[in-house]
Amino acid sequence: MSQPNDSELEAAAALPFPTVRDVPFTAPISWVTRALGDLKACPIPSLFYGFCFAGMGLLITFVFEHAYEYTSALTSGFLLLGPFFAMGLYEISRRHERGEQCALTPTLTVWKRNAGNIGVFAVVLGVVFLVWARASLVVFALFYTDELPNLSGFLGQLLAFENLEFLLVYFGVGLIFATLTFAVSVVSIPLMLDRNQDAISSMLASISALIRNPAAMLIWALLIASLTVIGFLTFHLGLVVLMPLIGHATWYAYRDLVEPLPAK
């Protein structure tokens, strides 16, 4: 992991702590609407990232088709890491907002702008992913009583509400990890990309945004979950469009939730 140099540390230290704003509970609808505008204006780079998300989901499902306890952990863990992988989408929205060209190439290396702090955040999400993957396997071992099914068998059991105890525990544990990830990532990476903010302040600002706007954040989380489920129900193909939509909307969530820096 690259380390920030002295000038980067001094610049980060000079930044004030982000001021979080209150937003109406309907704000997430506006974020998605504006995100749709970015998707229409910059379709090629946006859909590139969408295909990356869908491709990873399809690859995981294919490789672990007959060991679904691993598939579920890796797929949901992949979504836990979504804010990190969506950096390019944030940059597309940032460039479009500024009237700059919506090119793919500059977004591929955008992490270099604040590599040290983005690296710290990536480590945090990586640790959460690893703990969740282990917890997922433990839940399978303790509560799943039938022979492990393939993908179609697992979905069939979900629809039939079999193994109810397993389902309740599994999704309950998953909700804990999802809430933790959501809390620290609402505006973290957009802050680090836009202002070169340090990782700790960015994560604290995200938690503050969640605490100050519980209704809007609940609707935003439900929107993310709903769009993701739709993507899964289309065998990951829907993620080609829906994941870019979520990524672009996250940028506008940051714009509304965090007070801009005063003009110099």
Cα–Cα distance between 50 and 244 in angstroms, integer?
6
Q: Give me the pLDDT at residue 146, please.
A: 59
Percent of the residues in the chain that have a pLDDT greater than 90, as a whole number: 43
Sign of CA dihedral 242, 243, 244, 247: positive
- Enter the tokens of residue 32: 């998605």
Q: Residues 135-151: pLDDT tens digits?
A: 877 877 776 665 555 55
What does DSSP assign to residue 197? Answer: -
> pLDDT tens, 48-84?
999 988 887 787 777 666 566 566 666 666 666 777 8
pTM above 0.85, yes or no: no
In angstroms, rounded to a whole number, what is the distance separating the alpha carbons of residues 2 and 108? 17
Taking residue 143's Cβ as centre, other Cβ atoms within 10 Å add up to: 15
Q: Which residues contact 260 (CB under 8 A, 6 or more apart)?
A: none
Residue 57 in contact with residue 212, Cβ under 8 Å? no
Evaluate whether 242 touches 222 at the Cβ level (below 8 Å). Answer: no
How many beta carbons lie within 10 A of that of residue 105, not counting itself?
Answer: 7
Tokens of 47: 């859909």
Neighbouring-strand partners of residue 20: 258
pLDDT at 30: 96
CA distances from 19 to 11, 204, 206, 231, 250 (A): 18, 11, 11, 34, 17
pLDDT band at 253 (very low <50, low <70, confident <90, very high): very high
Sorted by where each begins, the domain ranges of the chain are 23-257
Tell me if residue 139 falls in helix, strand or coil. Answer: helix
Q: Which of 97-111, 133-147, 248-262 shows the highest mean pLDDT?
A: 248-262
Cα separation values, 167 from 76, 79, 138, 144, Å? 15, 19, 13, 9
- Residue type at position 125: L
Amino acid, single-letter form, for residue 43:
P
The closest alpha carbon to 76, from 4, 148, 130, belongs to 130
Q: Considering the chain, what is the average pLDDT of its residues?
A: 82
Among 20, 82, 70, CA closest to 209 = 20
264 contacts: CB under 8 Å, gap ≥ 6: none
